[in-house]
């Protein structure tokens, strides 16, 4: 192995050693050129990738901007449609209010009920006089008799009394 040289010491290399060192520098130079070319190719590929990514981002941004503009247009259109529908809605609401008022108006019904009540009272008065006349003329029959218990009207027929009886010979 070669010993490291101190830079402060004078060079006492032989010409063969110096020639070998120069040859190694040529290989090193070729390696550097090759590495530089590969590195430059990789750098160019990376630059192309970044450029294509930037183009894709611009495309995505334009799609997002377009969607935002369409959303803003839709919001504006909806607001305008709602504002324009105000008078139409007011007319419909007024119409509904009038219909509800008509439905809740019971004046005509109350008038008819009062008239019906008067007619029923008149009929009851006439029928009451006729009832007393009828009950006074008829005496004692099965259906016209008074019950023996208080509070009950006439006697009801039972099931047995409604049956036809067969005549036995």
Annotate the chain with three-state secondary structure: CCCCCCCCCCCCCCHHHHHHHHHHHHHHHHHHHHHHHHHHHHHHHHHHHHHHHHHHHHHHHHHHHHHHHHHHHHHHHHHHHHHHHHHHHHHHHHHHHHHHHHHCCCHHHHHHHHHHHHHHHHHHHHHHHHHHHHHHHCCCCCCCCECCCCCCCECCCCHHHHCCCCCCC
| In a domain? residue 161 | no
Residue 61 lies in a domain: yes
Give tens-digit pLDDT for 90-103. Answer: 888 888 888 888 87
Mean pLDDT of 67-72: 87
* Residue 114 resides in a domain: yes
Residue of 143, 165, 164, 163 lying closest to 154 (CA atoms)? 143
Same domain assignment for residues 124 and 56 = no
Q: How many CB atoms lie within 10 A of CB 144?
A: 13
Q: Is residue 97 part of a domain?
A: no
22 is a domain residue: yes
pLDDT value at 165 more than 60? yes
Is the pLDDT score of 155 beyond 50? yes
Within this chain, do residues 75 and 128 fall inside the same structural domain, yes or no? Answer: no
Q: How many domains does the chain have?
A: 2
Is residue 4 included in any domain, yes or no?
A: no
What is d(CA 21, CA 14) in angstroms, rounded to the nearest whole number? 11
My answer on whether 44 and 87 are in the same domain is yes
120 lies in the same domain as 88:
no
71-82 pLDDT, tens digit per residue, is 888 888 888 887
Q: Is residue 140 part of a domain?
A: no
Between CA 135 and CA 143 the distance in angstroms is: 11
Query: Which residue range is the domain that position 124 belongs to?
Result: 105-135
Same structural domain, 62 and 113? no
Confidence of residue 1 (pLDDT cuts 50, 70, 90): very low
Q: Within this chain, do residues 77 and 44 fall inside the same structural domain, yes or no?
A: yes
User: Of 59, 92, 125, which residue constitutes the final position of a domain?
Assistant: 92
Say which range, 16-25, 37-46, 83-92, 125-134, has the weakest mean pLDDT. 125-134
Of 90 and 163, more confident? 90
pLDDT at 157: 67
121-148 pLDDT, tens digit each = 888 877 766 565 555 555 555 555 555 5
């Amino acid at each position: 192995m070669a010993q490291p040289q101190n830079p402060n010491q004078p060079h006492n290399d032989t010409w063969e050693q110096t020639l070998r060192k120069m040859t190694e520098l040529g290989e090193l130079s070729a390696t550097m050129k090759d590495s530089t070319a590969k590195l430059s190719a990789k750098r160019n590929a990376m630059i192309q990738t970044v450029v294509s990514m930037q183009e894709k981002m611009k495309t995505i941004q334009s799609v997002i901007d377009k969607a935002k503009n369409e959303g803003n247009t839709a919001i504006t259109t909806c607001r305008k449609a709602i504002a324009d529908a105000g008078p139409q809605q007011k007319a419909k609401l007024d119409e509904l209010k009038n219909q509800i008022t008509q439905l809740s108006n019971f004046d005509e019904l109350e008038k008819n009920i009062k008239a019906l009540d008067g007619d029923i009272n008149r009929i009851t008065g006439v029928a009451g006089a006729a009832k007393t006349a009828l009950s006074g003329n008829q005496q004692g029959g099965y259906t016209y008799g008074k019950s023996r218990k208080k509070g009950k009207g006439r006697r009801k027929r039972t099931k047995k009394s409604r049956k036809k009886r067969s005549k036995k010979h």
